[in-house]
Structure 1
Amino acid sequence: MKRSKLQRIAALLLALALVAGLGACSQKDNSSGGSSSANTPSSSEESSEPSSSAVEEKTSGDDQEPLEITAVLTMFETPVDVNSEYWQDMQERCKVIYTPEWVPVTSYNDRLSLLVSTNDLPDIIRVENLSTPWVVKALEAGMFYDFTDSLGSDGLPNLSALNPAAWTNSKYKGRNYLIPNSRGQYNNCYFLRQDLLDKYDLPLPSTIEELTAYFEAIAQEDGMVPVPSNVDSPIELVQSAFGPGNILPVYTEDGSGIVPFRLTESYAKSVEYMAELYGKGLLSKEFALLNGDQTEDLMVSGKGGIYSKNAWHSYRINEEIKKVNPEGSFEPIFGLEGPGGTSVFYDMGYSGGLSINSSVGDEKARRILEFMDYTSDPDNYNYFYYGIEGTHFEIVDGFPSLTEEGKKVVNNSFYIPFTLASATYTKVNSPLAPAEYNLEMQKKVGKVDELAKEIDGAPFLIFNIINSQTWADFWAVNQVEFESFRADVITGAKTIEDFRAYQQQLLEMEEIKTAMTEYKTSYDEFGFDSWEAS
């Protein structure tokens, strides 16, 4: 990628012009939530004073009854107890009565599909992906509140100051219906066994060939499953190395559409690669049934070879494996080179977020936005991400460090009910790790920037951003059939040529042709075409 292009990406993703302001919540002593740290956005950004109108709004807001909120939220891990010290303190601090329904991530889409179909949504809805069929259905039906015109308001300074990439990439048809869970550009990586790389005198893989050699070598270990997961994450890792499709778009022959990444040649080559791994005994025989928890269990028990996870888990899983193997260690990779290109992607600047039920009306929607503006104040970042200082965390060497109590409750579900200020290394720094470990991880994720220079376009997983109602409807009905066909190819029941013929059959369907046109329109709305080589 040309240098000017990389600079444009960096400007888009890292611009964190954060300003501090007063929200609608009543403030207590900020000592439990406002400590400065190397992980908080406020530690390196200059804040401006709130306007007088914001103060007046806050003062009048104090006379209101507590804001009652219902929500449905994704449960990744055991969530904070609503009867806990933290939750009660949060409700008092913010003058809210917040009642969440927590739904396990594995059944979240089913639960939300039902709520959308019965038009029985609560006030706040956690959305993980704007292209998920139930989300598109809700958006098209007008179930989510459009607050685009509220951004930039004097009363919402903190929301307006979130990472601009988050606001841009979370739009639907050019409008904002999602308050994004914003962050910096670094997030996902793929953990490999560094101790086994050393044992077999192998380099940290940077190509598909080196990755395959690693899998083949570690297969010699007793009970080892080199690829202990379903095939979605390994395909995500290798597809762009086989060619355009999931990062750089594949256009239709006339240029009027963008081909869904699963129907591209690079995807077929990725499936073929999975079949090769399966044939060599390197991919789990139960790949179609494995979930993330099972993959992690295999990894931390020393029986797995690759694991896709947020970079901030590095310290934790390294500590976990040492309980069963004192010599065990994990090292992240962020992408690969291959015969068709480079595979690497930036985080899109956010990961899910919160939508407001449009039926709540303008007044309540505004109060919810003001509540989220308060939670996204940089001075409150630690409070809503780590809990109460002195109870759940302490500041050690400039970084939040979880206490024993914090380790029991602060996890990937803790911050889900809130909107946080943008922080570049949110998904890199671990609250469990010493400061020097986090600083070293910050250096390691620089590899993403290095690899991104090799991509002649926007290094995002574009289908996590662009959308098509027609594809969403098609995928809701045909996902099981497609994945079953793919599994048959991987296990040898069907050939890769059968798969290519199946892809072509789908591409000739009128609804897929419509979906490709919609994808192109969406791609243009997000402005990704401006990243094409000049």
Structure 2
Amino acid sequence: MNLSSRWNWRTKTNMSVALSCALALAVSGCSGAGSTGGTGSAGGTVGTGGAAAGQDKSSTAAASDGKPLTIQIFGGLYNEMPDMNNAFWSEWQKRLNVKLDANWVPSGDVITKLDLVLASGDLPEVIAYPNQGLTVSMINAVRQGAFWDLTPYLGDLSQYPNLKNNTPPGWQKFLSVDGKIYALPRSRSLIDNTVNIRKDWLDKLNLPVPTTLDEYRAALKAIVNGDPDGNGQKDTMGIVGINEGVSPFEAGFGAFAPHYDSDKGLIWHELTNEYTSMVEWLRGLYSDGSLPKEFMTMKRTQMEEAIGTGKAATYIRSTRYHYDFELQAKKVQPNAKIVATPPLKGPGGYAADLSTGVNGGIFISKKVPEAKMKQMLKYFDATASQEITDFGYSGVEGVHYKVVNGEKVPTDLSVKEVNTTSLGAGVFAYVKWGKVDNPGAPKEYIENKRKEVADYEKLGVYNIFTWLISDSWVNVWPKYTDEWKAMMTKAIVGQISMDEYKAYVAKLNSMPEFKKAYQEFAKAYSYYK
């Protein structure tokens, strides 16, 4: 869906899509809700003037005329386009006293659209950047003064108790450029992506759930060469596509561990020997038929369709999506069951990568006046309260869930309105199972899913390059990225030998501009570790 026609940042003066507590919050310093009331969610009722700990609720009315704070926000669309006047967003606006003019961009296109917005210079007031690592265009925009340096305003966070107490530890370093903080965290759980597979297909083929990468490869080969869906054809896919990343497999091959060249420079993870070993493993999957021919070009919508229509065994995405994919697949295959594998043992570790707990950041355009920027900081601090976080993940009691025997039981409306997209307008408190629990799933399903992925946090590793910055790398890597992807694809599909691919990687790593960048990465890593 092309949403660009909805936006003209220079001419829009009236924002009309609601959310609600920030002018009162923002001007007064209250980080709870206004006095308008509202349906309580688990963890406490926010709408009845519930301010965060340490803040004075009584200052709200005295310090504000009660008008909502309007915010233009650019964020990712991960579900159906929301009606910003639905029950969830209406309650959010009533509790937080803001009006959001939200441009939700389909997640598969959000970075491309963001690059166009940055190039135009016509920025929205807020960009909810969706990834752990900043793109070159975002780093350049920051350095060119496109966004507020929040460092002097945040200080020791004493004015923002929710940002101080409820957010992931160390979030500032993940959102810093040149030692300055330019964004607020989009708090998410450490456990995010997990390797999933169709358990009902394994059962039909008398295969156990794999525990190693070798077993996983063998299981996929059996699936694509068998007939697990029973339609009489060998038309099922293994891994539906890898163009959104292969981070769990990188972790399993050890590519996320720091690797240094002969000059003690820190080598980019995709150009390590360990990553090359993973490429060779993917080459094996392709020769098995477990990767479809179009694996590098499939878009997110195509991959979702493949897993949701029962055509693929695996589509790696946030764990909370397993339930959605399973529900879709059950429409055509009633016995469909999607499970997370345990962290698969590989030659260099386990196929389990962790989020930093900071899934991107909330950047405020420098075009926003200083006074309004400060109001926005108060609003975003309010969204990091435990009460608003509980609401963000569960919705409105009696509408999105019912309490039965002390437990929340989601309604049908929950799946539609309380989802990943609905987390796009706030910071939120850290929630251990936030990217695992699906709010539309029943209690038993959620408990089983948590058990499936519990070891990911214990065995998973971080990709340090999601936050390390090298000026030289920002300039050199974009010149070679497309060429490298093309060479990797050729290696996987067998158009060139692995020796040719290895020689190409070695050539890149020996180039002076690469070696200079690796020195800068090593210096940055020595500081952060």
Q: Give the TM-score normalised by structure 1.
A: 0.84
Is residue 2:37 matched to residue 1:29? yes
Q: Structure 1 residue aligned with 2:314, among 306, 311, 316?
A: 306
SS of the equivalent of 1:354 reads strand
Question: Percent identity, aligned pairs only?
Answer: 27
Q: Name the CA shift for 1:61/1:507 in 2 (closer, same or farther; >3 Å).
A: farther
Q: Name the CA shift for 1:144/1:24 in 2 (closer, same or farther; >3 Å).
A: farther
- Partner in structure 1 of residue 518 of structure 2: 516
Aligned counterparts, 1:13-162, within 5 A: 22-23=30-31, 26-30=34-38, 32-36=39-43, 50-51=53-54, 54-55=56-57, 58-63=60-65, 65-129=67-131, 130-149=133-152, 150-161=154-165, 162=167
How many residues align? The count is 488
- Partner in structure 1 of residue 204 of structure 2: 199
Does the Cα contact within 8 Å between 2:238 and 2:290 map onto a contact in 1? yes
CA-to-aligned-CA distance 1:399-443 (integer Å, 9 cap, x gap): 544323333333221120122122111112221222222222222
Does the Cα contact within 8 Å between 1:314 and 1:330 map onto a contact in 2? yes
CA-to-aligned-CA distance 1:208-253 (integer Å, 9 cap, x gap): 21111101211212311112213554x42323333x32x2111122
- Partner in structure 2 of residue 389 of structure 1: 397
Following the alignment from structure 2 to structure 1, what is the Cα–Cα distance between the partners of residues 435 and 124? 29
Following the alignment from structure 1 to structure 2, what is the Cα–Cα distance between the partners of residues 397 and 177? 44
Q: Name the CA shift for 1:370/1:278 in 2 (closer, same or farther; >3 Å).
A: same
Following the alignment from structure 1 to structure 2, what is the Cα–Cα distance between the partners of residues 274 and 390? 48
Does the Cα contact within 8 Å between 2:287 and 2:493 map onto a contact in 1? yes
Q: Structure 2 residue aligned with 1:250, among 252, 259, 272?
A: 259
Query: What letter matches 1:286 in structure 2?
Result: E
Is residue 2:252 matched to residue 1:241? yes
Bigger relative contact order, structure 1 or 2, given CA contacts below 8 A and separation 6+? 1
**C-alpha displacement at 1:117, in angstroms?**
2.3
- Gapped regions of structure 2 (runs ≥ 5): 1-28, 228-233
Aligned counterparts, 1:153-232, within 5 A: 153-161=157-165, 162-219=167-224, 220-221=226-227, 222-230=234-242
Q: Name the CA shift for 1:94/1:328 in 2 (closer, same or farther; >3 Å).
A: closer
Range with bigger deviation, 166-175 or 422-431: 166-175
Q: Name the CA shift for 1:396/1:123 in 2 (closer, same or farther; >3 Å).
A: farther
SS of the equivalent of 1:359 reads coil
Following the alignment from structure 2 to structure 1, what is the Cα–Cα distance between the partners of residues 87 and 239? 42
Following the alignment from structure 1 to structure 2, what is the Cα–Cα distance between the partners of residues 183 and 227? 25
Does the Cα contact within 8 Å between 1:187 and 1:310 map onto a contact in 2? yes
Query: What letter matches 1:188 in structure 2?
Result: N
- Partner in structure 2 of residue 319 of structure 1: 327
Aligned counterparts, 1:371-386, within 5 A: 371-386=379-394
CA-to-aligned-CA distance 1:378-405 (integer Å, 9 cap, x gap): 1122333343332333334555443233
SS of the equivalent of 2:127 reads strand
Q: Name the CA shift for 1:157/1:59 in 2 (closer, same or farther; >3 Å).
A: farther
CA-to-aligned-CA distance 1:280-325 (integer Å, 9 cap, x gap): 2221011121122222222232221212122222333333322222
SS of the equivalent of 2:367 reads helix
CA-to-aligned-CA distance 1:158-183 (integer Å, 9 cap, x gap): 11121214344333343322211113
Is residue 2:440 matched to residue 1:432? yes
Following the alignment from structure 1 to structure 2, what is the Cα–Cα distance between the partners of residues 399 and 121? 43
- Gapped regions of structure 1 (runs ≥ 5): 1-20, 453-458, 528-534
Query: What letter matches 1:182 in structure 2?
Result: S
Q: Name the CA shift for 1:512/1:322 in 2 (closer, same or farther; >3 Å).
A: same
Following the alignment from structure 2 to structure 1, what is the Cα–Cα distance between the partners of residues 312 and 355? 25
Does the Cα contact within 8 Å between 1:24 and 1:370 map onto a contact in 2? no
Following the alignment from structure 1 to structure 2, what is the Cα–Cα distance between the partners of residues 357 and 188? 30
Following the alignment from structure 2 to structure 1, what is the Cα–Cα distance between the partners of residues 469 and 356? 14
SS of the equivalent of 2:137 reads helix
Following the alignment from structure 1 to structure 2, what is the Cα–Cα distance between the partners of residues 84 and 480? 42
Q: Structure 2 residue aligned with 1:470, among 466, 469, 472?
A: 472
Query: What letter matches 1:113 in structure 2?
Result: D
Following the alignment from structure 2 to structure 1, what is the Cα–Cα distance between the partners of residues 339 and 161? 39
Q: Name the CA shift for 1:477/1:176 in 2 (closer, same or farther; >3 Å).
A: same
CA-to-aligned-CA distance 1:235-274 (integer Å, 9 cap, x gap): 42323333x32x211112232x211111111111111111
Following the alignment from structure 2 to structure 1, what is the Cα–Cα distance between the partners of residues 169 and 59? 25
Query: What letter matches 1:248 in structure 2?
Result: A
CA-to-aligned-CA distance 1:310-364 (integer Å, 9 cap, x gap): 2222333333322222332121025322233333222211212311112324321
Does the Cα contact within 8 Å between 1:131 and 1:467 map onto a contact in 2? no
CA-to-aligned-CA distance 1:17-70 (integer Å, 9 cap, x gap): xxxx9427524224x243239xx9x9xxxx997436x44653444236432211
Q: Name the CA shift for 1:396/1:252 in 2 (closer, same or farther; >3 Å).
A: farther
Aligned counterparts, 1:326-341, within 5 A: 326-341=334-349
Query: What letter matches 1:176 in structure 2?
Result: I
**C-alpha displacement at 1:103, in angstroms?**
1.9
Does the Cα contact within 8 Å between 1:33 and 1:382 map onto a contact in 2? no
**C-alpha displacement at 1:199, in angstroms?**
2.7
Q: Name the CA shift for 1:310/1:69 in 2 (closer, same or farther; >3 Å).
A: same
